[in-house]
Amino acid sequence: MMKINKITLFTLYVFVVLVGLLKSPCAVANNQIDGVRVWPSPESTRVVFDLSHKPEYSYFMLKNPYRLVVDFADTKRFPALPDVTDEHRIIKRIRYSKPKDKQGTRVVFDLVRSAKPVVFALAPAGPYKDRLVVDLYGAQMSAYSDESTNKKVSSREKERNIIIAIDAGHGGEDPGSIGPAGTYEKNITLQIAKRLARLIDNEPGMEARLTRTGDYFLKLNTRTVKARERKADFFVSIHADAFSSPEPNGSSVWVLSLRRANSEIGKWLENTEKHSQLLGGAADVIKDTENERYLAKALLDMSMDHSMKTGFKVAEEVVDELRKVSKLHKKEPQAANFGVLKSPDIPSILVETGFISNPNEERMLLSSSHQERLASAIFNAIKSYYWKNPPADSLFASLKNESPIKHQVKPGESLSLLANRYRVSVDSLKRANGLKTDTLFVGQILMIPKA
């Protein structure tokens, strides 16, 4: 076993950082890299080394040009390193270089620009063996660079779209739960999230923002930060449940717990940067820290109260809609301490779309028609809530206030179709127009009552 007693300082280059050194007393000699996987994402790239044993490693950064060097002690190299494609905005190339000593392996990451490395070992879990994870974060994290959803301009200038942040749970190295047939939760959540985004983007007055658009890993924190930066009105995180036995089934909806919300508020109050985010320009005007804190607390309490109420009401609507398309695991929204549900300022829910550990539900979660039904249920619930409670400056608000709406019946239109389009009940439509039957005539003028 190799002995490393001292951290060697590299002084050869102007900018040399020795960031980490890990020694393990139980590491076995002759470790081996069995595979290398690369997960690109818009803001970071994750490279995972699969190893036969727990790795002994060290790493450092070099400048001109930017490089990250990772040394594996007493480790045989994997014959080939993967090519790095253009979708990586941080790494240009991964290559081997001359190791420190004969037993070691040195891997060099040629970088496109300056990056922050985070390197750590992972113990065997699920389908994976011992791993060394190398995360490279671009120096400037821009949450706006990876929008794949269509940028939609509200059909009218001043009336804004209601923005729904959709978070597909897990991703990349984190598969989430794994079904008995080998289905990864991360793939199901992304498919449902994308279907939901499509439905939202097709709705005038609504706009979707996905926190992730591909198979890569996002930290919990990044998910809510992204939602905030994108000025989301609402945040919905999509997951699939799992249990140790195959029996449990059905969907459930989760909201932020009051306890979690209060502890988050405490954290926000300690963080003056968050004050300015929350207070907007006002923070610069209020020079008095005591006052700023007081105001921040008042605003946070108010916004938390609003988000929790909104989150709960939407959750109730989602449960009602899910009831029509799936079994329910919980008949009421549940409060939870989930890491992703922690924004006191954005109403948030987490939807467990079913149990991937139940063979039957695993099959259903894989089917595109069931995914579409789940996405529609979530979409209908959110739309219904915001149609009833539109933000004052939104297109939804002005559509609702336009009155009275007259509609001339076109071929193929039925009462239920029009009721659905204008979000009124068939009964109120019949009442407003004194209709005794459900029959409509082409060209007939209908008064549309306010929803």
**Binding-site member from 171, 176, 205, 333 for Zn ion (CB under 5 A):** 176
Contacts with Zn ion, 83-112, as mask; x by CB under 5 A = ------------------------------
Any alpha helices (H) in 202-288, and if so which ranges? 220-229, 258-270, 272-279, 282-285
d(CA 110, CA 95): 8
Question: What are the tokens at 359?
Answer: 């063979």
Whichever of 111 and 196 has its CB closer to Zn ion, that residue is 196
Strand partners, 406: 447
Nearest distance from C-beta of residue 240 to Zn ion, angstroms: 6
144: three-class secondary structure by DSSP: coil
Whichever of 239 and 383 has its CB closer to Zn ion, that residue is 239
The span of 136-144, 159-167, 236-244, 258-266 binding Zn ion (CB under 5 A) equals: 236-244
Whichever of 150 and 337 has its CB closer to Zn ion, that residue is 337
Longest dimension (CA), the chain: 91
The span of 10-18, 41-49, 164-172, 262-270 binding Zn ion (CB under 5 A) equals: 164-172
d(CA 379, CA 248): 25
The span of 86-94, 115-123, 173-181, 432-440 binding Zn ion (CB under 5 A) equals: 173-181
Nearest distance from C-beta of residue 355 to Zn ion, angstroms: 11
Nearest distance from C-beta of residue 123 to Zn ion, angstroms: 20
1: three-class secondary structure by DSSP: coil
For Zn ion, the binding residues in 324-343 under the rule CB under 5 A are: none
d(CA 393, CA 64): 50
Whichever of 350 and 415 has its CB closer to Zn ion, that residue is 350
With tokens 């909201």, the residue in question is: 255
Whichever of 195 and 400 has its CB closer to Zn ion, that residue is 195
Nearest distance from C-beta of residue 92 to Zn ion, angstroms: 34
Whichever of 175 and 390 has its CB closer to Zn ion, that residue is 175
The span of 30-38, 58-66, 168-176, 221-229 binding Zn ion (CB under 5 A) equals: 168-176
**Binding-site member from 42, 104, 138, 169 for Zn ion (CB under 5 A):** 169
Nearest distance from C-beta of residue 29 to Zn ion, angstroms: 38
Residue-by-residue DSSP string for 320-374: HHHHHHS-BS-SS-EEE--TT---SSS-EEEEEEEETTSHHHHHHHHSHHHHHHH
Adjacency order of strands within the sheet including 206-210: 206-210, 162-168, 234-241, 348-355, 252-256, 334-336
Whichever of 172 and 176 has its CB closer to Zn ion, that residue is 176
d(CA 335, CA 303): 18
Nearest distance from C-beta of residue 176 to Zn ion, angstroms: 4
The residue sitting closest to Zn ion, measured at its beta carbon, is 239
Nearest distance from C-beta of residue 169 to Zn ion, angstroms: 4
CB 189 within 8 A of CB 168: yes
Nearest distance from C-beta of residue 143 to Zn ion, angstroms: 22
The torsion of the CA quartet 40, 46, 51, 55, rounded to 10 degrees, works out to 170
Whichever of 357 and 394 has its CB closer to Zn ion, that residue is 357
d(CA 226, CA 232): 9
**What backbone torsions phi and psi does residue 253 show, to the nearest 5 degrees?**
-125, 135
# residues near Zn ion by CB under 5 A: 3
Whichever of 212 and 239 has its CB closer to Zn ion, that residue is 239
CB 75 within 8 A of CB 50: no
Nearest distance from C-beta of residue 316 to Zn ion, angstroms: 22
Whichever of 104 and 179 has its CB closer to Zn ion, that residue is 179
Whole-Å CA distances, 249 to 226, 240, 420: 31, 10, 31
* Preceding omega of 390 cis (within 30 degrees of 0): no
**What backbone torsions phi and psi does residue 46 show, to the nearest 5 degrees?**
-110, 130
The span of 219-227, 237-245, 362-370, 377-385 binding Zn ion (CB under 5 A) equals: 237-245
CB atoms within 10 A of CB 96: 13
The span of 24-32, 150-158, 175-183, 356-364 binding Zn ion (CB under 5 A) equals: 175-183
Q: Is 239 in the site for Zn ion (CB under 5 A)?
A: yes
Nearest distance from C-beta of residue 319 to Zn ion, angstroms: 18
Nearest distance from C-beta of residue 375 to Zn ion, angstroms: 17
Whichever of 27 and 238 has its CB closer to Zn ion, that residue is 238
Binding interface with Zn ion (CB under 5 A): 169, 176, 239
